[in-house]
Structure 1
Amino acid sequence: MGADSEDAVKQLSLLMEQVETPLKRSFQNVHQGYPKETLMRFLKAREWNVSKAHKMIVDSLNWRIQNEIDSVLERPIVPVDLYRSIRDSQLVGLSGYTKEGLPVFAIGVGHSTYDKASVHYYVQSHIQINEYRDRIILPRLSQQFGRPVTSCVKVLDMTGLKLSALSQIKMLTSISTVDDLNYPEKTETYYVVNVPYIFSACWKVVKPLLQERTKKKVKVLSGCGRDELLKIMDYSSLPHFCRREGSGSSKHSSSDVDNCFSLDHPFHKELYGHIKEQASHRELIKMGSLHVSIPEPDPNDAKIVEVIQAEFQKMGEQDGSTNGHKD
């Protein structure tokens, strides 16, 4: 880190000392003993502009307080059958760790349908995974390695991506906006695997719109990406959909214990067990979904969504004219 970066961290640290007590308390949940690394994440997200990073972090802390994010790990999604339905339609899980000790989160983009519950439950579930990662998994790894471990890698499986995914763009935009504004710079690298034509076509038009920092993070791998991913992780940490070429659907391949999307996978059992245990310590458990306010997306991100929508529609029209129907 250069002298300018060090100076920016010091300036932001001084500004954070002046925020109100409730924000300071929430900030402790965010930094988990690593305030400097946390400030650096927000600074990176705002190109090292101290005033913009300060506004971003204060806005994020206010969002946490207004939406009770600090107690989200005490709010189980019940009954368990509803939570199982969410896990079956919002495909995400922890498959293992890289050789450097970063958590590997797998996401089944193509087969996630988001059609078994309200948007509020899906956003709540996503935030709970984020908070469990940041408050339980990463501090545990930091302690284990004796150094700050503050980020993860994500493997995105595009198997099954269809034009009908256009209907899920609002949901995905909500989730990505929550991440961009409140969990910045938490992902070191996005590995994209099992790529169909529809993704390649969209990536071609979206890539030029991305910030250079984001572009460098995205690596589109050939096939299931197994050989490339084995350079950074052991076979046991590979997501189930990367374990062999032609393994097919990320949703149904492999057993439930191997399938990191399944509620029966050790990660999800541990996560859900933790939330239920935390809830049992509260006298009053609020039932129902957590209604989180979704911040307004960055104008550049909104533009990217428009481009994706336009590209999907264009492909749908082409498909309709050649096949006589749309996907």
Structure 2
Amino acid sequence: MGGGNQEAVKQLQTLMENVDDEQLKNTFQIMHQGYQTETLIRFLKARDWSVAKAHKMLIDCLNWRVENEIDNVLRKPIPTDLYKAIRDSQLIGMSGYSKEDLPVIAVGVGLSTYDKASDKYYIQSHIQLNEYRDRVILPTATRKHGRYIGTCVKVLDMSGLKFSALNQLRLLTAISTIDDLNYPEKTDTYYIVNAPYVFSACWKVVKPLLQERTRRKIQVLQGCGKEELLRVMDYESLPHFCRKEDSKSSKHHASGNSENCFSFNHAFHQQLYNHIKQQAIIMESISPIRQGSFCVDIPEPDPDDAKIAKTIENEFHKLENQKNGFTNSLTGLTVNGH
């Protein structure tokens, strides 16, 4: 870190020391988990080392946490049957660790349907995953290896991606906005695998819109990416959809498969769900938890992110129209052939 960046960290640290609101100070402690400097650096990176912009972003984040009671989200279990349904339709899990000891997060982008629960439960589940990662997984890895570990790697399975994904764009944009504004710089590298034509076509138009910092993090791999991923993680940590060339996708996600990190029965989700239930019991013994569903205010997306979402939507529509036109042409040929 250069001298200018060190000075930026000091300036932001001074600004945060001047925060006198107790709720903001408390949630900041929960958020940084004892690694304040590393947290400040994340927000500075997200705002290209502008102290003023990073300070605003961080204060907005802390206010969002207080207003939406994010500190208590790991004490609010989703009912078991509903949580199982979410795990079958919001495909995400942790398959292991990289050779650099970073958690490996697997995401079934193409086959996630988000149709088994209302949006608020998918958002609640996503935030719980984020908070569990930041409060349990990463601090545990840091203590185990004796050095700070604050990021993860993500393997995104695009198999099954269809034009119908447009129906999920609003929810996915909301989740992405929450991550961008409140959990910045938590992913070291994104590995894209099993990319169909739909993704490749969208990637061509979206890639130029991304900041260089983000573009450098994204690697589109051939096929299931097994060979390339084995350079950064052991076989045991490969997501199930990357283990064989003939198991191209995350569609084999039977809920009883303990090898499938998307499954409710996988060790990661069992540990996460049991942690939430235990925290709820502890909290209930101290003071009753306010009943009712967990609803979160969705921050306004960054204009650049909104532009990217609109570009994806337009490209999907364009590709769908091309497909329909091609299908109609084939139909006409068939009819004329008879």
- The answer to whether the superposition gives a TM-score over 0.5 is yes
Shift of 1:288: 4.4
Name 2:335's counterpart in structure 1. Answer: none
Tell me, yes or no, if the aligned pair for 2:101 and 2:141 is still in contact at 8 Å: yes
Name 1:170's counterpart in structure 2. Answer: 170
Name 1:6's counterpart in structure 2. Answer: 6
Name 1:294's counterpart in structure 2. Answer: 298
Q: Distance in 2 between matches of 1:251 and 1:314?
A: 26
Correspondence list, 1:135-284, <5 A: 135-252=135-252, 256-283=257-284, 284=288
Shift of 1:251: 2.9
Q: Distance in 2 between matches of 1:112 and 1:253?
A: 11
Partner of 1:184, secondary structure, is coil
Segment drifting more, 275-284 vs 145-154? 275-284
Could you list the per-position Cα deviations for residues 169-193 of structure 1 after superposition, in whole angstroms to 9, with x for gaps in the alignment? Answer: 0011000000000000000000000
Tell me, yes or no, if the aligned pair for 1:105 and 1:153 is still in contact at 8 Å: yes
Name 1:123's counterpart in structure 2. Answer: 123
Taking structure 1 as reference, are residues 253 and 26 closer, same or farther at Cα in structure 2, changes over 3 Å only? closer
Could you list the per-position Cα deviations for residues 106-161 of structure 1 after superposition, in whole angstroms to 9, with x for gaps in the alignment? Answer: 00000000001110000000000000000001000110111110000000000100
Q: Distance in 2 between matches of 1:222 and 1:106?
A: 17
Tell me, yes or no, if the aligned pair for 1:77 and 1:289 is still in contact at 8 Å: no
Tell me, yes or no, if the aligned pair for 1:202 and 1:311 is still in contact at 8 Å: yes
Tell me, yes or no, if the aligned pair for 1:240 and 1:253 is still in contact at 8 Å: no
Name 1:322's counterpart in structure 2. Answer: 326
Partner of 2:189, secondary structure, is strand
Q: Distance in 2 between matches of 1:95 and 1:16?
A: 36
Q: Which runs of 5+ in 2 are unaligned?
A: 330-338
Q: Distance in 1 between matches of 2:46 and 2:61?
A: 13
Q: Distance in 2 between matches of 1:174 and 1:287?
A: 24
Name 2:317's counterpart in structure 1. Answer: 313
Tell me, yes or no, if the aligned pair for 1:247 and 1:253 is still in contact at 8 Å: no
Could you list the per-position Cα deviations for residues 254-311 of structure 1 after superposition, in whole angstroms to 9, with x for gaps in the alignment? Answer: 8611000000000000000000000011232344431000000000000001110000
Alignment pair present for 1:32 and 2:36: no
Tell me, yes or no, if the aligned pair for 2:177 and 2:301 is still in contact at 8 Å: yes
Taking structure 1 as reference, are residues 286 and 89 closer, same or farther at Cα in structure 2, changes over 3 Å only? farther
Shift of 1:22: 1.2
Name 2:334's counterpart in structure 1. Answer: none
Corresponding residue pairs, total: 324
Partner of 2:37, secondary structure, is helix
Segment drifting more, 215-224 vs 285-294? 285-294
Tell me, yes or no, if the aligned pair for 2:242 and 2:248 is still in contact at 8 Å: no
Partner of 2:6, secondary structure, is helix
Alignment pair present for 1:50 and 2:51: yes
Q: Distance in 2 between matches of 1:25 and 1:132?
A: 18
Tell me, yes or no, if the aligned pair for 2:258 and 2:266 is still in contact at 8 Å: yes
Amino acid at match of 1:4: G
Tell me, yes or no, if the aligned pair for 1:103 and 1:153 is still in contact at 8 Å: yes
Q: Distance in 2 between matches of 1:286 and 1:156?
A: 36
Identity among equivalent positions (%) equals: 63
Amino acid at match of 2:106: A
Larger Rg: 2
Partner of 2:188, secondary structure, is strand
TM-score, normalised to structure 2, is 0.94
Shift of 1:323: 1.0
Tell me, yes or no, if the aligned pair for 2:88 and 2:253 is still in contact at 8 Å: no
Q: Distance in 2 between matches of 1:249 and 1:212?
A: 29
Segment drifting more, 294-303 vs 241-250? 241-250
Q: Which runs of 5+ in 1 are unaligned?
A: none
Q: CA RMSD in A?
A: 1.2
